[in-house]
């Protein structure tokens, strides 16, 4: 399993355009808090902020830098729903609880809007998101989902677009239509993470960076042990996703780190950028191995995709991603690629999130499966509720069953890679 390391941010567009952040000092000696949160990504920072707002004394331990991993590298897309389809949740939790899950996902989007406004976070938050169909069968599935979202979940925001209507907003011949959500959207994920961290500090959270946790002590009053000191607390939260396996081995087999990658073009200028995406929405296609993209605030195309279950970055990453982009926008053949980077997201077998507790005093959040930008917001709020003895929403997630990946830590990735070949073939049919 991957482990935290003391490293700077990757050479990404987000790191190059991040708002200034002075690295916080590491833990030096022993400390005591009501709650210790391990992990300085969106899940950990959101949890810490919500707890501090409830009056808890919170310490946050980050092994590298705030937003170092997936939270600071992802595509920045904010999407209603979860990575799994709603039928997965409905089969396991039942109709009544499936509606509660959907409502939480919509609440998660509104949490982002509220946090950006409340804390004046400069992260280019923009409403508008479209799922696009490459094949007619995918478009039929989108139409069916629009009807189900309205009748079963009461969500009436979607706007179904045939090819011509989509073509008015998106200058690509690749798609046959799409489903537009005006409430979802996109943002600069690293700046959003840093903005939440500043808000957490203002609320009283103490942040320690470059402080990898070596082990945890499971006790009624748990401890987080580092090389430079120990944090004692009444409640401990594991929010380190793919980096948490060595701290809680029983959770490691239930998630798998999956590589995904993004490129950023040179700035195109306002006119050329908006000639590609007229309404500045985020876009994601319906394929299993999907493309996702959007415009940045300085008029670049940020284009993401590819999936690696092996842990190895694709060869000539920038050129490989550029070819994927040109399949969507051939008119960008003359455009330079300025940045190419990647990182790992943590997925579960079902793609449903895996939240819960290991015992009465230790909680965990993992398995966001690519929907972490928005779901981390409701996860942090929900976990703070549970620690404050309002555990109803967290208990909903105990209804979801999470199977370990077959093959254990050695063979799960090759098995998944073989499975992905099947789904990639289905994308072409």
Contact of 335 with 302, CB cutoff 8 Å: no
What is the CB neighbour count within 10 angstroms for residue 78?
27
Region 13-73+190-254+350-418: CATH code: 3.50.50.60
Domain definitions of the chain by residue range: 13-73+190-254+350-418, 126-186+256-347
Task: Yes or no: say if 179 and 159 are a contact pair by the CB < 8 Å rule.
Answer: yes
Q: Tally the residues of the chain.
A: 429
Residue 340, Cβ neighbours under 10 Å: how many? Answer: 22
pLDDT over 70 for what percent of the chain? 92
Across the chain, which has 429 residues, the per-10-residue mean pLDDT values are 55 97 97 98 98 98 96 96 94 92 98 98 98 97 98 98 98 98 98 98 98 96 97 97 82 90 98 98 94 98 87 83 97 98 91 94 95 96 97 93 76 50 48
Provide the pLDDT for residue 312. 72
pLDDT digits (tens, 9 = 90+) for 47-80: 999 999 999 999 999 999 999 999 999 999 999 9
**Considering only CA atoms, which of 200, 202, 130 is closest in space to residue 172?**
130
Q: Rounded distance, CA 269 to CA 278, Å?
A: 13
Residue 408: predicted pLDDT: 57
**Domain range 126-186+256-347, CATH class:** alpha beta
The pLDDT, as a whole number, for residue 272 is 98
pLDDT at 289: 86
């Amino acid at each position: 399993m991957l482990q935290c390391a003391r490293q700077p941010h990757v050479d990404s567009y987000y790191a190059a355009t991040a708002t200034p952040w002075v690295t916080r000092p590491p833990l030096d000696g022993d400390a005591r808090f009501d709650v210790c949160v391990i992990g300085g990504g969106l899940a950990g920072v959101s949890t810490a902020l919500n707890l501090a707002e409830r009056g808890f004394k919170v310490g946050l331990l980050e092994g590298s830098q705030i937003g170092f991993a997936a939270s600071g590298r992802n595509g920045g897309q904010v999407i209603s729903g979860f990575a799994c389809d709603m039928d997965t949740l409905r089969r396991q939790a039942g109709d009544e609880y499936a509606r509660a899950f959907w409502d939480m996902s919509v609440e998660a989007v509104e949490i982002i809007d509220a946090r950006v406004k409340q804390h004046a976070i400069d992260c280019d938050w923009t409403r508008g998101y479209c799922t696009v169909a490459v094949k007619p069968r995918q478009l039929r599935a989108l139409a069916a989902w629009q009807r189900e979202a309205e009748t079963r979940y009461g969500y009436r925001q979607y706007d179904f677009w045939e090819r011509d209507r989509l073509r008015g907003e998106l200058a690509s011949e690749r798609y046959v239509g799409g489903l537009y959500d005006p409430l979802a959207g996109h943002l600069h994920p690293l700046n959003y993470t840093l903005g939440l961290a500043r808000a957490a500090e203002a609320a009283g959270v103490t942040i320690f960076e470059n402080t990898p946790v070596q082990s945890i002590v499971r006790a009624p009053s748990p401890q987080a042990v580092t090389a430079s000191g120990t944090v004692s607390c009444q409640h401990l939260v594991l929010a380190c996703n793919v980096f948490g396996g060595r701290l809680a081995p029983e959770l490691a087999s239930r998630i798998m780190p999956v590589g995904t990658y993004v490129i950023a073009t040179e700035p195109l200028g306002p006119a050329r950028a908006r000639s590609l995406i007229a309404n500045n929405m985020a876009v994601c296609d319906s394929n299993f191995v999907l493309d996702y993209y959007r415009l940045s605030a300085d008029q670049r195309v940020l284009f993401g995709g590819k999936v690696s279950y092996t842990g190895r970055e694709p060869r000539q990453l920038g050129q490989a991603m550029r070819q994927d982009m040109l399949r969507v926008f051939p008119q960008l053949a003359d455009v330079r690629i300025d940045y190419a980077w990647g990182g790992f997201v943590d997925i579960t077998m079902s793609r449903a999130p895996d939240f819960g507790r290991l015992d009465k005093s230790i909680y965990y959040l993992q398995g966001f499966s690519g929907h972490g930008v928005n779901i981390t917001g409701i996860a942090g709020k929900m976990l703070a509720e549970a620690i404050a003895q309002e555990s109803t929403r967290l208990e909903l997630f105990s209804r979801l069953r999470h199977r370990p990946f077959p093959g254990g830590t050695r063979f799960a990735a090759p098995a998944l890679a073989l499975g992905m070949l099947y789904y990639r073939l289905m994308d072409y049919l």
